[in-house]
Amino acid sequence: MDFSLSPGAVDFRAAVKAFIAEHLTTEVVDQMHATGTFNDKTFNAALADAGLLAGAVPGYGDRDPIELYILFNELEKAGAPYDGL
């Protein structure tokens, strides 16, 4: 059995990582620490604007559940806000 990610999932992971590199600023991290919450409306809106949210949710886009897992996994690994998504 082959457990390799599909080419689409690999591309999606790269897109999520690129998004995080551009949008997870020290200001976002500092705000999370100051408020004690892992929710940032501006960051969430940017995720949506980039098409990374709806496309990853089954029934709302052309992505599969593995890509939804990738989205949350990469956000968590980076320490990005994802509560409330």
Is residue 84, in this structure, part of any structural domain at all?
Answer: no
Name the strand (E) or helix (H) holding 55.
none
Residue located via tokens 């709302």: 60
Q: How many domains does the chain have?
A: 1
Q: Residue 64's domain spans which residues?
A: 7-78
pLDDT in tens, the chain (85 residues): 888 999 999 999 999 999 999 999 999 999 998 988 888 999 999 999 999 988 766 677 777 888 889 999 999 999 999 887 7
CA–CA dist 85, 35 (Å, integer): 17
pLDDT of residue 83: 86
pLDDT of residue 56: 63
Is residue 45, in this structure, part of any structural domain at all?
Answer: yes
User: Looking at residue 39, what DSSP letter applies?
Assistant: -
Helices (H), the chain: 7-23, 26-35, 41-49, 65-78
